[in-house]
């Protein structure tokens, strides 16, 4: 009987070992990266940036089985978000609260956005992934803590840390509170008149006298959060600085004008030199040519009585020679042809 009882005991141990002694193993580690603690203003929008790395597969009895994500869940104030635990978002549910928007996917992005933050959202939020096999289900229990405050007192700070600014400069005013917030929509006022800007940063510049005034900011959804007055005074630029700028501009203009005059004078001088050189060259060529050879083709056609007046002919030749000096030429053959044609016209007028 004792032997039989021992056999039964060993059989039970073997069965128990087979049931719980075959754990799953995984080629890699599963991770979920939550943001740090978040402070949210009531009525604002908060984005919980989140990434995860799921198990790709698991190994059992020496064999590897692939895994794929089939469900993602966000819940609050629950350790593992398992089973029928109330959730704020469930990828398999058609009745999710529209205030909670899942901006992630089933591959590695688990970002959740919470709109119109309420007091009930002051909680710890956790993300859970589920696969096509229970071996891949996982929840990282650390989660992200969200703190909700009702009516924070907004404060304006300046990028220059001074309220007196000169014309032409730029300025950035920031609307902040003691709570770290995301995507906060605020309303800006100047002398109690609302401005069009709605972000936490107000860009001013280039500044003019019209930008002077008392600035305030507050949450769009809560008028009780209005900040204290922040005075911005824009003063005109100093006269000394204006005179200095005018003097610099005048000096630069004078230098450029003088430089232009020098360049123009240089080109005029060079052109005059070239003209004088050409005139001397033309005069030399005309003086070297023999009048008899130059006009040999013209004189036979002239009437005897015309040729009997050497004074008139000499005067005509001098006038033609003077006119020839005025021509600037580069091709001597073309110049001689033109001169012969001119002489023909002169003598033909006497025929």
Which position has the token pair 């943001």? 35
- Does any domain span residue 185? yes
Asked if residue 333 has a cis previous peptide bond (ω within 30° of 0), the answer is no
Same domain, 161 and 225: yes
Geometric angle at alpha carbon 20, from 54 and 16, rounded to 5°? 170
pLDDT band of 327, cuts 50, 70, 90: very low
pLDDT band of 128, cuts 50, 70, 90: very high
Averaged confidence pLDDT in the chain = 76
pLDDT band of 328, cuts 50, 70, 90: very low
Which position has the token pair 């042809």? 337
Q: How far apart are CA 15 and CA 240, in angstroms?
A: 98
Backbone φ and ψ of 287, nearest 5°: -70, -30
Question: Of 235, 257, 287, which marks where a domain is finished?
Answer: 235
b/e map 76-101, b = 16+ CB within 10 Å: bebeebeeebebbbbbeeeebeeebe
> What's the number of domains the chain is made of?
2
Question: Of 122, 149, 176, which marks where a domain is finished?
Answer: 149
Q: Which H or E run contains 32?
A: strand 31-33
- Does any domain span residue 62? yes
Neighbours of 50 (CB within 10 A): 21
Tens-digit pLDDT profile for residues 257-302: 888 778 877 778 777 777 777 666 655 554 444 444 444 444 444 4
What is the mean predicted confidence (pLDDT) over 1-7?
45
Same domain, 99 and 205: no
Same domain, 92 and 160: no
What tokens appear for 342 in the block?
A: 């001119």
Same domain, 116 and 199: no
> What three-state secondary structure class fits 245?
helix
- Does any domain span residue 55? yes
Same domain, 228 and 119: no
Least confident of 73-77, 243-247, 287-291: 287-291
Same domain, 127 and 165: no
Same domain, 137 and 118: yes
End-to-end CA distance of the chain: 168
Question: Of 103, 123, 149, which marks where a domain is finished?
Answer: 149
Q: How far apart are CA 101 and CA 183, in angstroms?
A: 15
What domain range is 171 assigned to?
154-235
- Does any domain span residue 182? yes
Same domain, 138 and 161: no
Tens-digit pLDDT profile for residues 159-218: 877 667 888 888 999 998 877 655 677 899 999 999 998 888 999 989 899 999 999 999
Instruction: Report the CATH number at residue 201.
Output: 2.60.40.10
- Does any domain span residue 324? no
Q: How far apart are CA 210 and CA 335, in angstroms?
A: 75
Q: How far apart are CA 74 and CA 70, in angstroms?
A: 14
Dihedral-angle region of residue 281 (phi above 0 means left; psi in -120 to 50 means alpha; beta otherwise): alpha
């Amino acid at each position: 009987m004792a032997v039989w009882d021992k056999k039964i005991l060993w059989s039970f141990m073997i069965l128990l070992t087979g049931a719980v002694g075959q754990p799953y193993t995984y080629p890699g580690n599963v991770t979920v990266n939550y943001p740090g603690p978040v402070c949210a203003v009531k009525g604002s929008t908060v984005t919980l940036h989140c990434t995860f790395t799921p198990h790709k597969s698991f190994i059992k009895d020496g064999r590897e089985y692939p895994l794929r994500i089939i469900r993602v869940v966000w819940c609050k104030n629950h350790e593992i978000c398992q089973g029928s635990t109330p959730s704020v978002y469930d990828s398999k549910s058609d009745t999710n609260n529209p205030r909670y928007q899942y901006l992630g996917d089933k591959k590695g992005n688990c970002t959740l956005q919470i709109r119109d933050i309420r007091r009930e959202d002051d909680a710890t939020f956790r993300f859970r992934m589920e696969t096509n096999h229970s071996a891949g289900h996982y929840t990282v229990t650390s989660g992200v803590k969200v703190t909700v405050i009702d009516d924070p007192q907004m404060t304006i700070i300046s990028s220059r840390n001074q309220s007196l600014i000169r014309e032409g400069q730029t300025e950035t005013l920031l609307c902040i509170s003691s709570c770290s917030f995301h995507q906060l929509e605020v309303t800006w006022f100047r002398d109690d008149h609302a401005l069009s800007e709605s972000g936490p940063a107000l860009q001013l510049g280039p500044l003019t006298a019209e930008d002077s005034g008392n600035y305030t900011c507050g949450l769009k959804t809560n008028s009780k959060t209005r900040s204290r007055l922040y005075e911005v005074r824009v003063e005109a630029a100093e006269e000394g600085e204006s005179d200095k700028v005018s003097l610099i501009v005048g000096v630069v203009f004078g230098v450029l004008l003088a430089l232009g005059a020098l360049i123009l004078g240089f080109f005029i001088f060079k052109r005059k030199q070239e003209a004088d050189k050409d005139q001397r060259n033309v005069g030399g060529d005309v003086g070297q040519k023999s009048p008899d050879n130059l006009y040999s083709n013209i004189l036979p056609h002239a009437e005897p009585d015309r040729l009997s007046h050497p004074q008139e002919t000499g005067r005509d030749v001098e006038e033609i020679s003077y006119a020839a000096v005025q021509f600037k030429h580069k091709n001597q053959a073309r110049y001689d042809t033109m001169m012969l044609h001119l002489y023909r016209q002169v003598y033909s007028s006497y025929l």
